[in-house]
């Protein structure tokens, strides 16, 4: 089951830049009353029981590009995450150019 992003706070700079759903998770147990227990990723500091409204059925992926690659491990420097840019897609100068 896909877990919806609603009510889950991440360290992204903006909610708009965050994922809409988080990877498919395995259901461990049906608690009842529309509540399911999921097997979460190690290190997630949230409770592992979710309402049915926050879960979406995971359909079989049809194309290769639908498979999500696992996120690369982050480098932490001075208690802050550091990312490495692979390439710059587009660049546009703004303001006055002298």
- Model confidence over 7-66: pLDDT tens digits? 777 777 787 777 788 777 888 888 888 888 888 877 777 888 888 888 888 777 677 776
Q: In the structure, what pLDDT confidence band is assigned to residue 67 with cuts at 50, 70 and 90?
A: low
Q: Is there a contact between 51 and 37 (Cβ–Cβ < 8 Å)?
A: no
| Sequence spans of domains, the chain | 2-82
Q: CA-CA distance, 86 to 60, in Å (whole number)?
A: 30
Report pLDDT for 57: 83
């Amino acid at each position: 089951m896909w877990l919806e992003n609603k009510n889950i706070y991440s360290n992204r700079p903006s909610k708009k830049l965050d994922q809409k759903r988080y990877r498919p998770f395995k259901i461990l147990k049906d608690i009842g009353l529309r509540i399911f227990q999921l097997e979460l990723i190690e290190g997630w500091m949230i409770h592992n029981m979710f309402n049915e409204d926050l879960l979406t059925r995971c359909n079989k992926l049809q194309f290769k590009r639908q498979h999500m690659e696992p996120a690369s491990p982050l480098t932490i420097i001075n208690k802050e995450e550091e990312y490495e840019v692979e390439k710059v897609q587009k660049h546009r100068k703004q303001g006055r150019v002298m």
